[in-house]
Amino acid sequence: MTGTVITGIGLALPGASDTDQLWRSVTGGRSAVRPIERFDTDSYPCPNAGFLAEETERETIGTFTPRVRKRMDRFCQLALSAARSAQHDAGLAPSADADRTGVYVGNMFGGWEITEPSLRGLLDRGYTGVSPHIASAWFPTAPQGQITIGNGLTGLSKTLVADSASAALAIGYGARAVAEGRADVLLAGGAEAPVTPYTYTFCTTSGRLSPTGTYRPGDDAADGFCVGEGAVMLVLEREETARARAAVPLARLAGFAVRHVPEDEVFGPSDTKALAAVLTAALDEAGTDRVDCVALDAQGTAGADESELSAIHSVLGPVPLTTAKPVTGNLLGAAPAVDAAVALLSLRHGTIPPVAGCERPRNADIVVGAPRETPVRNVALLARGADGTIAASVLRAI
C-alpha cells in the first residue's frame, strides 16, 4: 500500500483533548484510569475506567450546543469532536470536495447513554417514556452518520465492527480505499463510550476486565484491562492530494493485513502463528523486515500477552514494545486508533513512550519507566478482537 498518508489527528480522550496533552500523558506514564463515579460499581468486579474529566469534556464535546448533544449518544459526540479536530489539524476546508470525502469509523458497542434511561422509561411509563432520539443514537454507525451529515460529506463511508480490532480495520481498510482512488480524503478512526451501567455489564461478563482494577499489559501480574471512553480520528489521503493542497503528511500507512481465526483461539497460544503471519504480511506490504517499535494489542492477560510477545519475537526478534492503552484505558473498538495516534507522535518526536503501569515486564523488550529517545521511522501496530479478528499495520515516517 503506497501513497496513503495521514495528514491530521483529532482526539477526545481521557486526559487529553489534543495531541500535546496525549503525548505528555503517555511519555509521563500518567494514566487517566480512575474510579468510576457515574454509577454504583459495587456489583462490578472492576471499579476503574478511563473517562473524560470535566475540563477535557468542556474542551471537546462540551463545545457542542445542548441541541446537538441531545441528538446523539456520548460515543457519537466524542467521534464528532475528534473528527472536527482532525479536520482542523489537517487544514481541511469545510468546503472540501464532499463527494470525494468520507468517514470510516471503528466501534464495538454502539451507544447506550440515551437508551438505558429510555428502557427504564419504557418499564415505568410505556412507550411514551422512550426517547425519540434512540432511533438515530444507539447504533454503531451513528458516528459515521453524524460526521457525514454534520459536514455535508457524501463520499465513501463505512463503519467497521470487529470487537477491539475495529478501528484498526477502519484505518487499514480506509487507507486501502484511498489508495484505490475510491475516495480522496477519509476521516478514519474509532469511538467508544463503554462507561455506562449496561455497557459495563457487557464488559464485565466478557471476563476481560481486571479484578484488581489495574491495566498493566506485559507485566507478570497482568490480570485483564480497564476500559476507557474516547475517540481518535485521522485524516487519510493520497500523498499527491495532500501535496496539492499544501498539507504536510505526518506519516504513511505503509502496510496493512488482516485475518480471522476461531474466537476461542485469538488470545491463546494457537494465535501465535496467525498473529505472526498477519504481522509478516503487513511488513511485506510495507517492504521491510524490521521496525523501530511495535504498538501492542495489549489485552493484559498472561495468555494473550504471551502469545502476542511470542509472535512478535518470532517475526522481528528483539524490538522495543509499547502501548498507550493503559494511559487512556482500553478503548475497545477505538483502542487501535489510540495507538495509531501515539505512533504518529512517536515518529514526530523520535521517542518511544513506556507502558504505563508495567513494572515487572515479562519481556525485556517492553519499554518501561522512562520514555526511550531513539530515531523512529517505522512502527508496527497490532490489534486483536474477541471475534477472531487479527490486524497489523505499519506506519512509516515521511
Partner 1 sequence: MTSTQSTYGQVHDVLVEVGLEPSEITSGAALRADLGVDSAELVEIVTELAPGSKVDGKVLKSVVTVADLVVFLDNLA
**Residues lying near partner 1 in the complex (CB under 8 A):** 65-67, 70-71, 125, 127-128, 131-133, 135-136
Dist CA 110 CA 74 (whole Å)? 10
Q: Which is nearer to partner 1, 73 or 339 (CB)?
A: 73
- Comparing CB distances to partner 1, the nearer of 135 and 364 is 135
SS3 category, 21: helix
Comparison of 42 and 127: residue with beta carbon closer to partner 1:
127
**Which is nearer to partner 1, 131 or 314 (by Cβ)?**
131
Q: Which amino acid is at 343?
A: A
The residue (of 133 and 377) whose beta carbon lies closer to partner 1 is 133
- Least distance (Å) from partner 1 to the CB of residue 129? 9
Q: Shortest Cβ distance from residue 126 to partner 1 (Å)?
A: 9
Residue 185's Cβ-side half-sphere holds a number of Cα atoms within 13 Å equal to 30
Residue 32, phi-psi category: left (phi > 0), alpha (psi -120 to 50), beta (remainder):
alpha
Rounded to the nearest 5°, which phi and psi values hold at 217?
A: -60, 140
Q: Which is nearer to partner 1, 94 or 126 (CB)?
A: 126
Give the C-alpha separation, 205 to 224, whole Å. Answer: 13
Residue 116 CB, nearest distance to partner 1 (Å)?
17
User: What is the distance, to the nearest Å, from the Cα of residue 44 to the centroid of all Cα atoms in its chain?
Assistant: 24
Write the CB contacts of 139 (distance below 8 Å, at least 6 apart in sequence): 110
Q: Select 95 or 128, whichever has its Cβ closest to partner 1.
A: 128
> Measured from the CB of residue 132, what is the shortest distance to partner 1 in angstroms?
4
State the CB neighbour count (10 A cutoff) for residue 133.
15
Give the nearest distance from C-beta 73 to partner 1 in angstroms.
13
C-alpha grid cell for residue 308? 502476542
CB of 150 to partner 1, least distance (A): 12
Residues in the chain: 398
Rounded to a whole number of angstroms, the minimum distance from the CB of residue 112 to partner 1 is: 17
**Residue 74 to residue 37: CA distance in whole angstroms:** 16
